[in-house]
Amino acid sequence: MKHASRLGSLQITADQDALVSRSGTVLVPELATRLGLTNSLSYALSHLHSRSPQHAPGQVLVDLATTLIDGGECVSDLDALACQPNLFGQVASHSTASRLLHALGSRELEALRAERAKARERAWNQGARPDQITLDFDSHLVEVHTEKEGAAPNRKGGFGFHPLACYLDQTTEALAAKLRPGNAGANDADDHITVLDQVLLQLPQDARKDWAILARADTAGGTHKFASALRDRKIRFSLGYPVQERIGEAAISLPKRRWKPALDSDGKPREGAWVAELTDRVDLSGWPEGTRLICRKERPHPGAQLRFTDTDGHRYTCFITDQKTRKLAELELRHRMHARVEDRIFESDELAGVHFPFQDFAANETWLELVLLAQDLLAWLRSLVLDGELALARPKRLRHRLLHVAGRITRSARQRTLHLPRSWPWARELLRAFERLRALPAPG
């Protein structure tokens, strides 16, 4: 009887040198070097060492961020890079990396953020600059299963942290985040303002033009204090607004002629959905001058369960904004695109944003900054190095198709050559990525 063995008569030995398993992953640290980030981080953190260290702190941080993009979830996963010195050079041990992370205090984190902002400006100048700037604020719950410092019960019965983050919608860059206990309020205006101010420091000076930036958030960000802070900083807002009884009454009493068709993501009218403005029907005197209240109603999809705030068979959602020039349907569509922030959070989870490996709260804050660095490097990799469908791929797909590609390194005439498998379906895309990376100007 034949056994359905895939190995068959395959002989397996471990007798080859100069083989590598992560040919595409090396794009990440090389990109960081091309953007000047590795050296600038080492210089900014040079005060941590009394003499020149064997492993520069900037290189250690970049290698850690590379490990997260590669699929690592903790510091010890650095070993996947360290065991391939032909490709990644000399990588620090995980004990050395852990000591560095624990040595980073508030001063060092400020330096890390400042160097990340400089690298962002360089990346934008080389082609990653977005046409518009839309800031998406959102928080999410992260479960932990041990008594870590600062962890607390959350509103859903779990236990862990409740970080608040802001992402740049057009480029997927992770601009800033704040690690908070699990019981932190989703609508804490002070936390939103803290993250907002960190975000503005991440944007190049020429991008902070008055009223050129839009900040979006769900109802958790819809507070008077946050809206006022955005107005003070000359940033437009589009914030979720709770549908209360008075809102429902105002929407139901609105004449039918006031409701205009809503739009799909492709800009075409959406069947069974309408938008209208309720500014003249609701008292908004507590909000910044010029605030508008816009309501959307739609027929729930088959099987959807109506909420107690839904009336006359329709589902109502509202948001406030101080944008003036666009049509109602366009404003509503632009606000609805805030839902894409969930993709950014999911991507953060794929980059170990759900794994806070340390006991100390401060060390886990540093880990969160490391996740932001990894997400930025991934965003710049997509913008500057990748193209086609891979420029839109999430980390998991990138690993399977581009990063975790086997290869062989040979040496001849003092030159190294990385040989990729000829039959790999995405070999051409990987070669093109290396070409585009080499075309980026080297730091001065």
Residues 187-201 have pLDDT tens digits of: 999 999 999 999 999
pLDDT bin (cut points 50, 70, 90) of residue 414 is: confident
- What separation in angstroms does the CA of 260 have from each of 244, 273, 294, 328, 332? 22, 9, 11, 8, 11
Tens-place pLDDT, residues 31-86: 999 999 999 999 999 999 988 899 999 999 999 999 999 999 999 999 999 999 99
The answer to whether the pTM exceeds 0.75 is yes
DSSP letter string over 219-275? GGG--HHHHHHHHHTT-EEEEEE---HHHHHHHHTS-GGG-EEEE-TTSSEEEEEEE
Query: How many Cβ atoms sit within 10 Å of the Cβ of residue 327?
Result: 11
Do the domain assignments include residue 261? no
Whether 426 maps to a domain, the answer reads yes
In the chain, % of residues over pLDDT 90: 83
Is 311's pLDDT higher than 80? no
Q: Spell out the residues 6+ positions from residue 346 whose beta carbon is closer than 8 angstroms to its own.
A: 394
Q: How confident is the model at residue 13 (pLDDT cuts 50, 70, 90)?
A: confident
Average of per-residue pLDDT across 307-333? 84
For range 341-357, the mean pLDDT:
95
Q: Report the domain count for the chain.
A: 1
pLDDT for res 176: 98
Vertex 36, ends 92 and 132: CA angle to 5°? 120
Question: CA 351, CA 172: separation in Å to the nearest integer?
Answer: 13
Residue 259 domain-assigned (yes or no): no
Domain extent for 62: 19-107+358-439
Confidence of residue 2 (pLDDT cuts 50, 70, 90): low
60 in a structural domain: yes
315 pLDDT tier (thresholds 50, 70, 90): confident
Nearest to 310 by CA among 302, 300, 320: 300
- In percent, the amount of the chain with pLDDT more than 70 equals 97
Question: pLDDT value at position 17?
Answer: 86
Residue 399 lies in a domain: yes
Q: Is residue 263 part of a domain?
A: no
pLDDT band at 310 (very low <50, low <70, confident <90, very high): low
Question: Which of the four pLDDT bands, split at 50, 70 and 90, describes residue 244?
Answer: confident
Q: Return the pLDDT at 11.
A: 83
Does residue 99 carry a pLDDT above 70? yes
Is 24 part of a structural domain of the chain? yes
**Rounded average pLDDT over 197-217:** 97
pLDDT digits (tens, 9 = 90+) for 127-172: 999 999 999 999 999 999 888 999 999 999 999 999 999 999 999 9
Using the predicted structure, report yes or no on whether residue 309 has a pLDDT greater than 60: no
Identify the pLDDT of residue 321: 98
Residue 390 lies in a domain: yes
CA angle at 296 for the pair 292 and 299, rounded to the nearest 5°: 170
